Structure 1
Amino acid sequence: MNERQKRFADEYIRTANAYQSAIRAGYSEKYSKNNSHKLLENSGVKSYVEARFKELEKQAIAQQDEVLQFLTSVMRGEEVDEENIVVPKGDFLSDVEKHTKRADTAQRIKSAELLGKRYAIFTDKQEITQRNIDINIGEYDDDSED
C-alpha cells in the first residue's frame, strides 16, 4: 500500500465518504468520481481499514476492568457529579451556578450491589442432595421372546 492509499484509507475511516476521501488523499477529481470504490476493494486498503476499525472499536468499548474500577470509585464516593443550581441574586434576578457533589448514597449502594453481583457475594447458598429413584413398570424377563 502506497502513501496516497494510506491517506485515502485514513480519510475514509474519518469521513466514510470514498469520493471526498480520494480527493483529499491527492487523487484527481475525475479518478475519484469513477474509481474511488475500487480503492476500497484494494486488498491492502481493505485490510488496513478493517484493522483500524477494529482498533477504534476496542478503544470505544469499556473493558471489564474499566467498568469494575468505575463502579468501585462510585461506591467509595470518589466520583463527583456536576449540577446546575439556580441562585437568586435580587429582585427577579438569578444566576445558574455549577456545583460539584459526591455520588449520593443510592448511587453508591447501587454500585456496591452491582459489584456484589459480579463477585457473587449476595448469592444464597443452597444445598442440593441427589436422590436415586427406582421405577419399576411391570415385570421384565430378558429370556422371554414374546
Structure 2
Amino acid sequence: MVKFTEKQQRFIDEYLVDLNATQSAIRAGYSERTASAQASRLLTNVNIRARIEELKKTRADRLNLDAYWVLKRLMDISDRSMQAEPVMQWDYEEQQLVPSGEYQFDSSGANRSTELIGKHLGMFKETIKHEGELNVTFVDDIGREEDAT
C-alpha cells in the first residue's frame, strides 16, 4: 500500500466528506491562496485517486448502495411525484382544511427523476451529424534529395 503524507491523507479524508476538492485542500491544511491548484494536483495523482475510489466503493458497499438502489429510488420519486394531491384550502365555517376540488402534482420532480433514469439507461446520447464536403489538399513541402545538393 502506498504511504501518503499526513496532508495527503487528510485531503483524501476531507474529499470524501463533500467531494469539493478546493475546500478539502483548505481543510487538509493547504493555503487558501493555492488550494485550487493543490487540489487539482492531488486529484491527478494516480495513487491518491485510486485511494479515493477505493474508499468510495467501500462506503457504498457498507451502505448497500448500487445502481439498482439508485434507480429504485428514482422510480419511487417519479411515481410519487405523479400522484395528484388535492389542493387544500381553509374553510372558515368548519375551521379546518378542506379539498378545493383542484389537484396538483410535482411535474418537475417527476421530470427530473425520469430524466436521470433515462440518462442511466443511455437513452439520451447526443449524436452529431456532420454534413458537407471535406476537401483535403496535401502539400509536399519536403524537398527532394537532388534539391538538397
**Taking structure 2 as the reference length, what is the TM-score of the superposition?**
0.39
**Taking structure 1 as the reference length, what is the TM-score of the superposition?**
0.40
